[in-house]
Amino acid sequence: MMRLLRYSDTDFESDFDALVNNRRGSDDDVSADVSAIIKNVREQGDAALIELTQKFDGFDLATDGWVITAQQCTESLKTLDPELRSALELAATRIAAYHEAQKPKDRDYVDADNIRLGAKWSAVDAAGIYVPGGRAAYPSSVLMNAIPAKVAGVERLVMVTPTPNGEINKTVLAAAAIAGVDEIYRVGGAQAIAALAYGCDTVAAVDVVTGPGNAWVAEAKRQVYGMVGIDMVAGPSEIIVVADNQNDPSWIAADLLSQAEHDPTSQSILFTDDEAFAMSVSSEVDCLLAKLATGETAGASWRDHGAIIICRTLNDAMPMVNKLAAEHVELAVNNPDDLFAKIKHAASVFLGRYTPEAIGDYIAGPNHVLPTGRRARFASGLSVLDYMKRTSFIAMDENNFAAIGPAAMRLAQAEGLPAHAQSVRKRLS
């Protein structure tokens, strides 16, 4: 049974704290398994990937091949249902436009001491994106990960995706064609992340790895961070809906279940100031669960992790929304900007009654790869900056060196670094 919390209840604060501190996700400690897989790939290279792919995916890389070709992707795009192709292409156009506006500008200026300073931005040489495989594949994730990389200027974009029992998702391949992915390999799991990070005979290493995956993939990304950059270590999906009683309860019920259907450990929370409306939404959730093909998964999520919180006013909900620092927050009210101004911690916010979270998953433009598990307190969603790095520069002449050199020399002496001090002193004299 989902939790029902009333702001007026005497134990409300302790119940809400328990909700905030609930650590969802797998109870399995996969770190040792993942560490062994990474070690195996580093030491055995292609042989390890062949062995592990046969073991976990029932697919023989040595016999059936590693690579999905550009021609296969193009053919998948050509034979795709025209309406679906049009939707993918519209999504790609909007995602590219939004991320193009994120590209940072170089700086090159002269300060008050006539010293030239600045920074220039450049893309990493190669990036890898992980895409879950088989029937559970998500073409939207291909677009959301690949397009920002290409907008950033990444020259070599590698996709890894498992093909369990040889099964290839043609919509994913069509999305790869639209996004301009350069290389695709039929490997998955922690072993694919290891191959991207460390390289092997067949798969050359990359500089950044992004993309969703299961607990093993997430843990592998965590362990290879430092050898490569990563987007984030994401956990189960989550949504908060803040809604008044002017909403259609069935709309809000669908919004809550849009995240619950991802995984039994997903979380959906409704904040409202009207108890009758809350009960109507709860009833609509039950009705919808009975009809959903994903009802078993969504029902487990709603039962084990869902919550309805009844507040005195929606303004009172905002500090609690900030404390949860959720992946997705919907503000389903007439004037959402008033509440939006009070939000400090949320990965992505959806303003108004006609902006469901699902529109952001596919077509709006902002990235759907977002921090979860309260990480929105300190992290942001995937952007072009995840595929870029900044190089600062300094240029001085004899005169402006003389103006600030003595201070640098004094600081070097204070830190007990005489070679630093000499490097400055010799130029001053």
Active site residue ranges: 327-328
List the strands of the sheet with 107-110, edge to edge. 107-110, 116-123, 388-395
Instruction: Give the dihedral sign, CA 143/148/153/157.
Output: negative
Contact 263, 292 (CB under 8 A): no
Contact 95, 147 (CB under 8 A): yes
**Alpha helix positions (H), 325-417:** 336-340, 357-362, 398-414
d(CA 237, CA 368): 11
- Quote the radius of gyration of the chain (alpha carbons, Å): 25
Give burial (CB, 10 Å; 0-12/13-18/19+) of 394: exposed
Give burial (CB, 10 Å; 0-12/13-18/19+) of 118: middle
Which residues, other chains included, contact 355 with Cβ-Cβ below 8 Å and sequence gap of 6+?
330
Helices (H) and strands (E) in the chain, counts: 18, 14
Instruction: Give the dihedral sign, CA 64/65/66/68.
Output: negative
Angle at 179 between CA 86 and CA 376, to 5 degrees: 100
- Can you read off the two tokens belonging to residue 342? 């009070």
**Alpha helix positions (H), 82-169:** 82-100, 139-152
